[in-house]
Structure 1
Amino acid sequence: MTFATKYRRVGLIVPSSNVTMETEIPALLKARETILPDRFTFHSSRMRMKSVVKEELEAMDADSVRCATELSDAAVEVQAYACLVAIMSMGLGYHRASREKLEKATAGNGCPTPVLNSAGALIDGLKEMGVKKVSIICPYMRPLTKMVVDYIENEGIEVQDFLALEIPDNLEVASQDPTAPSELWRKLDLRGVDAIVASACVQMPSLPSIEMIERASGLPTMSAAVATTRQILRNLNLTEIAPGGGALLANGMPASEPMLA
């Protein structure tokens, strides 16, 4: 007797101009399928946003309830809201309020679903690795990058240094070379840091760079996409491991060859 493969349904709440979340997170989970039996499908709902400026981010976030409700129609098992700066620009600690609001929307639609966001996932990933001081790379304009820094520091993690690439157009963010962070990290002040965030943005590609930076720097390296993937696995009660995801998704596994996004 044979049994049909059980696919775990992952819901993605995505800015309309984001094309990287639906590339890097599935890439990590598909790589995981090569070593573990779990299988995944991905289902998206989009919020309008083209320019990474505070006004558009606020309007986009207001649309997240609709997205969460739509995805609950599909009975997804977990939802991931992926726009780190949208959450962090809404006020300190907002990742908790956003999660509560969206989970309430799914329950009100008759399909209660755990909801995570990339902002909370990054904070949790840093804390769970015992990180006290970090340096980060962001694609955002400097004022938004400073908001991200303030948000992280409000959560008890010192930001030693940051690199703001100052790219306002979200599609231009996505067009960046995914291997660029493997050299950009060298511009950061790493004195006393416990980890590097190669991309504090789920739109800026960085997946091939994660383990390249770890090998060159000797420091644990993560990204918003890697941290989000870990939280997706956690909410599905699955082992938090995926080849190419660096220390956060290694679970004692040796580093793999760099992944191509």
Structure 2
Amino acid sequence: METEIPAMLRMREQVRPERFTFHSARMRMKHVNKEELAAMDAASDRCALELSDARVDVLGYACLVAIMAMGRGYHRQSQERLGGATRGNGGEAPVVTSAGALVDALKVMKARRIALVAPYMVPLTRLVIDYIEHEGFEVADWRALEIPDNLEVGRHDPGRLPGIVAGMKTDDVDVIVLSACVQMPSLAAIAQVEAQTGKPVVTAAVATTYAMLGALGLEQVVPGAGALLSGAYAKGGAA
């Protein structure tokens, strides 16, 4: 959240007139397991309240698996509850979750079958797959990188991703989810994976940026961030 999303906003500033400030509040998590994810999600209300003090225009809840581990469709409940926290503080702002953003992005891209890469352990990855499939998609192939330490997820070399995808069956998928985690870097590998597979690529961070720009009523265009932000799916702003 604090690396690739601001990077995409800076990239957008090179081609569009809007300028952005970035504010963050943190929920604690060290090990990516269901118990710590639940405790992390419980702190999201505090974070929304703190950020609404700054009168921000949109809030993004960045941890995809924290939402998906709470049960099917939970992103809708989370977005409504956190939005209520901003209203109660007199700083109402739309709330985007990376989980909801990824689901919505796959719908926008008219995906039916996807391939997915996640840094999580296998049980959590299966929860993510179940969540996504419950939303109407088929996860045709997937890889769980099984990185339990959250800091190590953030340190994963995106240069490894093209090789990981090369070992997956992607011929019959509509979209490749290169990183089902905002924490795991992937932005630098998107163009290469799109070129080597001939498939559109999306990540949790890209989907979150697309949703946040949409919530701001801005054209959803970021150069170098893959198909979703290429302009082909832009809804807001002037073409």
TM-score by length of 1: 0.88
Specify the code of the residue in structure 1 equivalent to 2:220: E
Cα pair 1:51 1:169 within 8 Å, conserved: yes
1:66-106 CA-to-partner distances (Å, cap 9, x unmatched) read 00000000000000000000000000000000000100111
**Counterpart AA for 1:140:** Y
Match of residue 218 from structure 1: 198
The aligned runs of 1:148-159 (5 Å cut-off) are 148-159=128-139
The answer as to whether partners of 2:210 and 2:220 remain within 8 angstroms in 1 is yes
Match of 2:151, SS state, is: helix
Give the SS at the match of 2:81.
helix
Runs of 4+ in 1 over 2 A off after TM superposition: none
Q: 1:125 aligns with which of 98, 101, 105?
A: 105
What is the percentage of aligned positions where both structures have the same residue? 58
User: Please, which runs of 5 or more residues in structure 2 have no aligned partner?
Assistant: 234-239
Which one of 109, 116, 139 corresponds to residue 136 of structure 1? 116
Question: How many pairs does the alignment contain?
Answer: 233
| 2:31 equivalent in structure 1 | 51
Q: Which position in structure 1 is the counterpart of 2:148? A: 168
Q: Specify the SS of the correspondent of 2:26.
A: strand
Corresponding residue SS for 1:46: coil
Residue 111 (structure 1) shift: 1.1
| SS of equivalent to 1:196 | strand
Aligned-partner Cα distance in 2 for 1:187–1:89: 27
Maintained 8 Å contact 1:180/1:206: no
Structure 2: distance between partners of 1:180 and 1:249: 23
1:159 is paired with a residue of what secondary structure?
A: strand
Deviates more, 1:191-200 or 1:96-105: 191-200
Counterpart residue number, 2:56: 76
- Tell me if the contact between 1:198 and 1:221 (Cα under 8 Å) persists in the aligned partners: yes
Aligned to 2:89: 109
Show the counterpart of 2:21: 41
- CA distance in structure 2 between the aligned counterparts of 1:146 and 1:252, rounded to whole angstroms: 31
2:216 to 212, 232, 236: 236
Structure 2: distance between partners of 1:214 and 1:169 = 28
Structure 1 gap segments, 5+ residues each: 1-20, 254-261
Q: CA RMSD in A?
A: 1.0
Say whether the 8 Å CA contact 1:58–1:90 is kept in structure 2: yes
Match of 2:65 in 1: 85
Counterpart in the other structure of 2:176: 196
Separation of aligned partners in 1, 2:25 and 2:152: 21
